[in-house]
């Protein structure tokens, strides 16, 4: 039989992620969470100082942990540039389509102190998050395969377009036609690959 404190912890996190996915992060409150998880507010505050503390811990587990592992699945930094970028894009797309709440957290984290707070709590230094991707981009830059831009720019070119396409996927869930699928992801990825590569004259 599982300890009740573990069951309560899972209920809190599962319910919080469901509220974030279905109603948006702005509609998550500690009172609402307690009611929907059928747990007393006091129990939640024993585990988390406040909503911000809860979000930081969720971000650490769902973004820094699960998201990074999912994106790096079957990725190898020794891959060719096109193969590696396509693997990253497909992994990003499949992970977030199956984990909408994690996507909401990611988007929120990019525009708030949440990302930096999570890195500080985990003692993650610049370059450690997605380190294999950093080395992948650095190698292809040094080999003259891709345009030599600051790493932050390369990272934005690699991740920002696919994250925007994931956002479009969710935007189109309630529309007559879904325009974002794996084929469209691959087509868009090829355009980004072409844009980052140094042309062969």
Mean pLDDT of 170-185: 93
Per residue in 54-81, pLDDT tens? 888 888 777 777 888 999 999 999 999 9
Per residue in 15-32, pLDDT tens? 888 888 788 778 888 999
Q: Are residues 163 and 94 part of one domain? A: yes
Mapping DSSP to helix (H, G, I), strand (E, B) and coil, where does residue 64 land? Answer: helix
96 assigned to some structural domain: yes
Query: Between 84 and 12, whose confidence is greater?
Result: 84
Cα dihedral across residues 32, 36, 38, 39: positive or negative? negative
Q: Are residues 12 and 107 part of one domain? A: no
Q: Which domain holds residue 16?
A: 1-48
Q: For residues 56 and 62, what is the distance between their CA atoms, to the nearest angstrom?
A: 10
pLDDT tier, 121 (very low <50, low <70, confident <90, very high otherwise)? low
pLDDT value at residue 1: 40
Q: Are residues 105 and 136 part of one domain? A: yes
Mapping DSSP to helix (H, G, I), strand (E, B) and coil, where does residue 73 land? Answer: coil
Provide the number of structural domains found in the chain. Answer: 2
Which residue is it, tokens 């590696």? 84
Q: Are residues 107 and 171 part of one domain? A: yes
Residue 201's contacts (CB-CB under 8 Å, 6 or more residues apart) are none
CA distances to 52, 64, 84, 118 from 57, in Å: 9, 10, 30, 7
The residue count for the chain: 201
Burial bucket for residue 154 (CB in 10 Å: 0-12, 13-18, 19+): buried
- CATH of residue 36: 1.10.10.60
Q: Are residues 114 and 39 part of one domain? A: no
DSSP string, 33-45: HHHHHT--HHHHH
pLDDT of 3 over the 60 cut:
no
Instruction: For residue 2, report the phi and psi dihedrals to the nearest 5 degrees.
Output: -80, 140
Return the percentage of the chain with pLDDT > 90, whole number. Answer: 46
Q: Are residues 22 and 84 part of one domain? A: no
Burial bucket for residue 139 (CB in 10 Å: 0-12, 13-18, 19+): middle
Per residue in 80-119, pLDDT tens? 999 999 999 999 999 999 998 888 888 877 766 666 666 6
- CATH of residue 192: 1.10.357
Mapping DSSP to helix (H, G, I), strand (E, B) and coil, where does residue 126 land? Answer: coil
pLDDT tier, 172 (very low <50, low <70, confident <90, very high otherwise)? very high
Q: Are residues 192 and 137 part of one domain? A: yes
Burial bucket for residue 109 (CB in 10 Å: 0-12, 13-18, 19+): buried
Q: How far is CA 27 from the centre of its chain?
A: 20
Number of Cβ within a 10 Å radius of residue 58: 23
């Amino acid at each position: 039989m599982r300890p009740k404190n573990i069951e309560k912890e899972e209920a809190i996190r599962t319910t919080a992620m469901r509220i974030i996915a279905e109603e948006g992060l702005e509609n998550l409150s500690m009172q609402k969470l307690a009611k929907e998880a059928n747990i007393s507010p006091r129990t939640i505050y024993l585990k988390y100082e406040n909503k911000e503390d809860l979000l930081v811990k969720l971000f650490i587990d769902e973004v820094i942990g699960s998201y990074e592992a999912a994106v790096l699945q079957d990725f190898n930094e020794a891959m060719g540039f096109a193969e590696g970028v396509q693997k990253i894009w497909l992994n990003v797309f499949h992970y977030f389509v199956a984990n909408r709440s994690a996507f909401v957290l990611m988007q929120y984290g990019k525009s708030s102190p949440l990302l930096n707070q999570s890195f500080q709590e985990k003692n993650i230094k610049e370059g450690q998050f997605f380190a294999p991707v950093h080395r992948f981009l650095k190698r292809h830059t040094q080999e003259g395969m891709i345009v030599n831009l600051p790493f932050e720019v390369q990272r934005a070119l690699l991740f920002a377009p696919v994250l925007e396409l994931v956002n479009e996927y969710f935007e189109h869930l309630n529309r007559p036609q879904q325009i974002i699928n794996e084929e469209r992801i691959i087509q868009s990825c090829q355009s980004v690959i072409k844009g980052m590569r140094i042309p062969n004259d």
